[in-house]
């Protein structure tokens, strides 16, 4: 199992995930590989200068380098290079999704299966659209008047560059984006937008386990009091949305009942951002796999295990709150951890054994916990396992979410998905 760190492509998170308990729960039947990759400016600075004399998507190339290293050396650690499972959360899951379509889905034998939890899919514009990011860095340093600005940047100490490795507004926006740095559709590693590559079946066909938490957007949504604030927030995160797109979004996400400790339009903003950025990319990728790959090797979930602290604050079951169930309550930095030492403890063996079973056999059912139900495949009716304390059952994605995810797929030219 090769774990891809989260962190929104802007910070390193690998030191905060420990695979020890997962290995122990598997009776030492899996090998856990953890690593980091370049993030922020150092991993995802894009421009014509970088394209001509550098490497776009350097952070993703780091990942690719690691996968090639594993092919050459994992046997020395007792591993099987033909049984490599990619596993990621958030930006790590987004990285897994991107590695599946890298180079138009060219299968180089680097992995044999994939787990993607709460897949983070920000906009992935082309380098020309991101030129302003490079120019901002150049203008903030002493390189603005240099004949070769990229060479000049390379001569600056990394500690000095780090001062400019920060969140900022996207071009034409006034509020800082949560996730300013991200991969780019470079025409090489990604010959098209990822959603288009998935639609065309241009991805590596391997067994896939992928899902989301119920309230993926709640940690990030603006506490909007009006529909205008809600839409401005969506435009700040997706700056290429058109007026027609924003009208569609308001139709898809009308005002919902108020949530404790939040303003009136927060629920709509939370649902919209959560579906646009995490849930719908996940569901749409699953649909592509069901159409173009083997649907019998495809499983999905909706994680709906409540944590009292989050529920009391109006956040529901937020982004990657399943992490302590996967790795163990003390093996991640997740705030949800303490509940898995107490009232949510029964979820740990259930979740871990599904994950371990998939890693060992490419099927979550083979070695599942004796108290766990059989996990059905995704399929045309979009079946997924709902994780709830003492109530793990199958469901089909409801009609409303299906329609909203289809709408986001139609807007992929604007979201740059």
Q: 């340093």: which residue's tokens?
A: 141
Torsion 59-65-71-75 (CA) sign: negative
Q: Which domains does the chain have, with CATH numbers?
A: 2-415 (3.40.50.1820)
Q: How far is CA 272 from CA 141, 203, 303, in A?
A: 37, 27, 18
Q: How far apart are CA 7 and CA 115, in angstroms?
A: 17
Q: How far is CA 226 from CA 172, 235, 266, 312, 345, in A?
A: 22, 15, 9, 23, 40
Please give the order of strands across the beta sheet that includes 383-387: 33-34, 2-4, 85-89, 113-117, 208-213, 298-303, 383-387, 393-396
Percentage above 70 pLDDT, the chain: 100
Host H or E run for residue 139: helix 131-140
Token pair in block for residue 156: 């600056």
The predicted structure's pLDDT at residue 13: 85
Q: How far apart are CA 223 and CA 314, in angstroms?
A: 11
The predicted structure's pLDDT at residue 108: 98
pLDDT in tens, 271-295: 999 999 999 999 999 999 999 999 9
Tell whether the model's pLDDT for residue 62 goes beyond 90: yes
The predicted structure's pLDDT at residue 64: 99
Q: What is the mean pLDDT of the chain?
A: 97
The predicted structure's pLDDT at residue 335: 80
Examine the residue annotation and report whether 118 is marked as an active-site residue of this protein: no
The predicted structure's pLDDT at residue 159: 94
**What's the pTM?**
0.97
pLDDT in tens, 178-188: 899 999 999 99
Q: How far is CA 31 from CA 13, 15, 19, 146, 348, in A?
A: 20, 17, 9, 48, 19
Q: Average pLDDT, stretch 101-107?
A: 98
Confidence of residue 312 (pLDDT cuts 50, 70, 90): very high
Q: How far apart are CA 212 and CA 239, in angstroms?
A: 24
Tell whether the model's pLDDT for residue 9 goes beyond 80: yes
pLDDT in tens, 317-363: 999 999 999 999 988 877 888 999 999 999 999 999 999 999 999 99
Confidence of residue 154 (pLDDT cuts 50, 70, 90): very high
Active-site entry in 26, 90, 195, 270: 90
Q: Average pLDDT, stretch 296-305?
A: 99
Tell whether the model's pLDDT for residue 244 goes beyond 80: yes
Percentage above 90 pLDDT, the chain: 95
Tell whether the model's pLDDT for residue 15 goes beyond 90: no
Q: Average pLDDT, stretch 289-305?
A: 98
């Amino acid at each position: 199992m090769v774990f891809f760190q989260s962190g929104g492509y802007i910070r390193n998170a690998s030191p905060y995930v420990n695979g020890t308990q997962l290995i122990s729960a598997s009776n030492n039947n899996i090998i856990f590989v953890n690593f980091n990759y370049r993030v922020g400016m150092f991993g995802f600075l894009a421009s014509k200068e970088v394209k001509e004399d550098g490497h776009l998507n350097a952070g993703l190339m780091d990942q690719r380098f690691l996968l090639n290293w594993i092919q050459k050396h994992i046997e020395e650690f007792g591993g099987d290079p033909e049984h490599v499972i990619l596993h990621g959360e958030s930006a790590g899951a987004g990285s897994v999704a991107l590695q599946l379509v890298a180079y138009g889905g060219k299968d180089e034998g680097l992995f044999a299966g994939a787990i993607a939890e709460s897949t983070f899919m920000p906009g992935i514009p082309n380098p020309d659209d991101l030129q302003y990011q490079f120019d901002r860095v150049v203008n903030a340093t002493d390189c603005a008047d240099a004949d070769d600005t990229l060479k000049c940047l390379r001569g600056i100490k990394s500690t000095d560059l780090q001062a400019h490795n920060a969140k900022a507004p996207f071009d034409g926006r006034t509020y800082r984006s949560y996730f300013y740095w991200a991969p780019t559709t470079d025409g090489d590693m990604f010959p098209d937008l990822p959603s288009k590559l998935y639609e065309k079946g241009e991805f590596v066909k391997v067994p896939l386990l992928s899902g989301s938490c119920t309230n993926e957007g709640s940690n990030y949504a603006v506490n909007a009091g009006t529909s205008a604030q809600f839409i401005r927030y969506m435009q700040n995160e997706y700056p290429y949305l058109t007026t027609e797109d924003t009208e569609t979004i308001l139709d898809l996400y009308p005002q919902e009942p108020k949530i404790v400790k939040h303003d009136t339009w927060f629920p709509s903003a939370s649902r919209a951002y959560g579906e646009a950025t995490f849930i719908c990319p996940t569901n749409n990728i699953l649909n592509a796999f069901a159409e173009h790959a083997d649907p019998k090797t495809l499983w999905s979930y909706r994680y709906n295990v409540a944590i009292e602290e989050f529920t009391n604050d109006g956040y529901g079951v937020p982004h990657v709150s399943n992490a302590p169930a996967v790795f163990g309550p003390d093996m991640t930095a997740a705030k949800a951890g303490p509940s898995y030492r107490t009232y949510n403890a029964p979820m740990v063996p259930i979740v871990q054994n599904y994950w371990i079973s998939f890693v060992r056999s490419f099927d979550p059912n083979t070695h599942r916990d004796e108290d766990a139900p059989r996990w059905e495949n995704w399929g045309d009716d979009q079946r997924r396992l709902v994780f709830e304390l003492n109530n793990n059952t199958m469901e089909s994605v409801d009609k409303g979410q299906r329609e909203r995810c289809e709408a986001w797929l139609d807007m992929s030219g604007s979201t740059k998905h």
